[in-house]
């Protein structure tokens, strides 16, 4: 029976290591030599702490709007500043200031993008900005630097019963409804101003940077209400005007003047007050070093001590024990289990980014992508209740291959950041490949998870070669 177990381990290891680039070229040089594969599976006791961060790099076209209080999480309040992409051409045929009917701001979203109580009534205020929003912007900015309370454009009360459904077929049948819309009636004077400016100087509308000098944008926040958070998926400013056809019939037409697109600067403003029970949990976890908290979009962030030196020491010990002529680190798996909490009302973040704490700022500001060496992301496995970082052996090898392979404090101080991973799938005649195109701090919804560092598992697989001569 023991023999069967041993053979099973060897077979599984051979399957894994056969996929590694580092040993794919060894076969041709194995003249009269012996290959031994050693698996060292052990629970490594990690330690860490939860560090509060009140800000992330939060540029987004899909903002969070709302106020939400959740037990065990805290109270999250949001605001949003954005510029607009102007329309390039406005059809002014038979349109005069007198035919302008109204101008509205539309915020579109899907039911799945709502967290909390869908019936909670709220009041949304919209202000006109007094200066342009510039990047990079972090979510702890002071919005009052960009607008004055005297520049209120409009307020509207919204709730599930007042939000209109948008139907792709313009039908009243509920089965054809696609998404919901919050409508804000803006002053007609703003519509007249934009229309007259276009008639006067269309070049102002030719580029978003030029338009921002004339109309810097808006700030939105919730001035009343709590209990819901919405991830908005589309923002448009639309002009409605009256037209008279050849038969003298009056009709109301619409024209999208402005929209929020990736080309313009926009930023979510977040303010989080942690729950008292969370503060106690963080204090207990930081004292023991065995449990850490990860929140989004802001809040507590895990900083762990990753035992790179211990891993290298263990690897070197095995080299000395075996006295082989060649040793190759093939696989280093890393998983962290979560602490399951039946009372947790929010989901864990879908992905966590493994990155040196000193490199977090540059990684996001420079819009870098995970290289699977120094930056690696894990996906939450709901069934197993763990974050699986896969094979992170390249991280250790990159240290060993440096001119000075000494492990530094920086190498072992790792941040685990909730991130949103955007992928792109390309299909060709031969195969289908999926690649990561962007990784950003997660801000689509509030999330929280407690990680059990005492249960973290590191599994090492390496190859040794010994000559028979």
47 and 79: one domain? Answer: no
137 and 192: one domain? Answer: yes
98 and 189: one domain? Answer: yes
Whether 6 is in a domain gets the answer no
Whether 132 is in a domain gets the answer yes
Q: What is the pLDDT of residues 276-291, one digit of tens each?
A: 999 999 999 999 999 9
Whether 19 is in a domain gets the answer no
- Buried (b) or exposed (e) across 67-85, using 16+ Cβ within 10 A? bbebebbbebbbbbbbbbb
253 and 355: one domain? Answer: no
139 and 189: one domain? Answer: yes
325 and 248: one domain? Answer: no
Tokens encoding 147: 């607008």
* Alpha-carbon distances of 48 from 52, 182, 285, 297, rounded to whole Å: 13, 43, 8, 20
193 and 285: one domain? Answer: no
Please tell me the chain's helix, strand, coil percentages from 3-state DSSP, rounded to the nearest 5. Answer: 25, 45, 30
Whether 17 is in a domain gets the answer no
Specify the number of domains making up the chain.
2
Whether 8 is in a domain gets the answer no
pLDDT of residue 176: 47
Which residue, of 264, 298, 321, is where some domain finishes?
A: 264
Whether 9 is in a domain gets the answer no
279 and 221: one domain? Answer: no
130 and 67: one domain? Answer: yes
Q: What is the pTM assigned to this prediction?
A: 0.84
pLDDT in tens, the chain (469 residues): 433 443 343 344 433 333 333 433 333 344 444 555 555 555 467 899 999 999 998 888 899 999 999 999 999 999 999 999 998 887 777 778 888 899 999 999 988 899 998 888 999 999 999 999 887 889 999 999 999 999 999 999 987 544 555 544 444 444 445 788 999 999 999 999 999 999 899 999 999 999 999 999 999 999 999 999 999 999 999 999 887 666 666 677 777 789 999 999 999 999 999 999 999 999 999 999 999 999 999 999 999 999 999 888 887 777 676 655 556 777 889 999 999 875 678 999 999 999 999 999 999 999 999 999 999 999 999 999 999 999 999 999 999 999 998 999 999 999 999 999 999 888 877 888 888 999 999 999 999 999 999 999 888 877 766 655 5
Whether 40 is in a domain gets the answer yes
DSSP state at residue 403? S
Domain coverage including residue 430: 30-51+275-467
315 and 220: one domain? Answer: no
Closest CA to 347 of 418, 440, 439, 438: 418
Q: What is the pLDDT of residues 158-207, one digit of tens each?
A: 875 445 555 444 444 444 457 889 999 999 999 999 999 998 999 999 99
Which residue, of 242, 264, 286, is where some domain finishes?
A: 264
301 and 221: one domain? Answer: no
Site of tokens 């037990």: 71
């Amino acid at each position: 029976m023991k023999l069967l177990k041993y053979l099973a381990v060897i077979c599984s290891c051979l399957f894994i290591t056969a996929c590694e680039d580092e040993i794919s070229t060894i076969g041709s040089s194995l003249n009269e030599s012996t290959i031994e594969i050693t698996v060292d599976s052990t629970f490594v006791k990690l330690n860490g702490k939860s560090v509060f961060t009140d800000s992330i790099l939060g540029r987004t076209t899909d903002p969070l709007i709302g106020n939400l209080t959740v037990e065990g999480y805290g109270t999250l309040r949001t605001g949003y500043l954005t510029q607009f992409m102007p329309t390039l051409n406005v059809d002014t045929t038979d349109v005069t200031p007198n035919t302008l009917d109204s101008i509205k701001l539309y915020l579109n979203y899907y039911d799945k993008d709502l967290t909390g109580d869908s019936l909670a009534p709220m009041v949304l205020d919209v202000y006109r900005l007094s200066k342009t929003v510039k990047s990079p912007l972090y979510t702890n900015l002071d919005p009052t630097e960009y607008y004055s309370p005297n520049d209120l454009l409009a307020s509207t009360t919204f709730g599930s019963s007042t939000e209109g459904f948008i139907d792709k077929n313009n039908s009243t049948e509920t089965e054809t409804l696609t998404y919901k819309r919050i409508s804000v009636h803006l002053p007609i004077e703003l519509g007249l101003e934009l229309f007259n400016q276009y008639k006067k100087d269309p070049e102002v509308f030719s580029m978003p940077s030029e338009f921002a000098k004339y109309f810097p944008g808006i700030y939105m926040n919730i001035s009343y209400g709590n209990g819901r958070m919405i991830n908005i998926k589309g923002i448009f400013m639309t002009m409605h005007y009256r037209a008279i056809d050849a038969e003298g019939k009056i009709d109301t037409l619409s024209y999208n003047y402005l929209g929020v697109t990736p080309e313009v600067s926009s930023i979510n403003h977040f303010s989080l007050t942690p729950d008292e029970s969370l503060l106690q949990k963080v204090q207990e976890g930081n004292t023991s070093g065995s449990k850490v908290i990860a929140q989004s979009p802001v809040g507590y962030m895990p900083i762990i001590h990753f035992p790179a030196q211990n891993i290298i020491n263990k690897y070197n010990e095995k080299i000395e024990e075996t006295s082989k002529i060649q040793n190759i680190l093939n696989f280093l798996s890393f998983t962290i289990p979560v602490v399951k909490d039946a009372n947790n009302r929010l989901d864990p973040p879908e992905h966590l980014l493994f990155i040196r704490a000193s490199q977090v700022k540059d990684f996001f500001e420079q819009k870098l992508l995970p290289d699977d060496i120094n930056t690696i992301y894990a996906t939450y496995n709901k069934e197993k209740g763990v974050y699986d970082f896969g094979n992170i052996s390249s991280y250790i090898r990159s240290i060993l291959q440096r001119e000075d392979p000494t492990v530094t404090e920086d190498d072992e101080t790792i941040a685990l950041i909730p991130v949103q991973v955007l992928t792109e799938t390309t299909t060709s005649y031969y195969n289908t490949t999926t690649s990561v195109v962007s990784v950003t701090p997660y801000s689509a919804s509030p999330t929280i998870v407690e990680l059990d560092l005492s249960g973290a598992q590191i599994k090492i697989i390496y190859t040794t070669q010994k000559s028979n001569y």
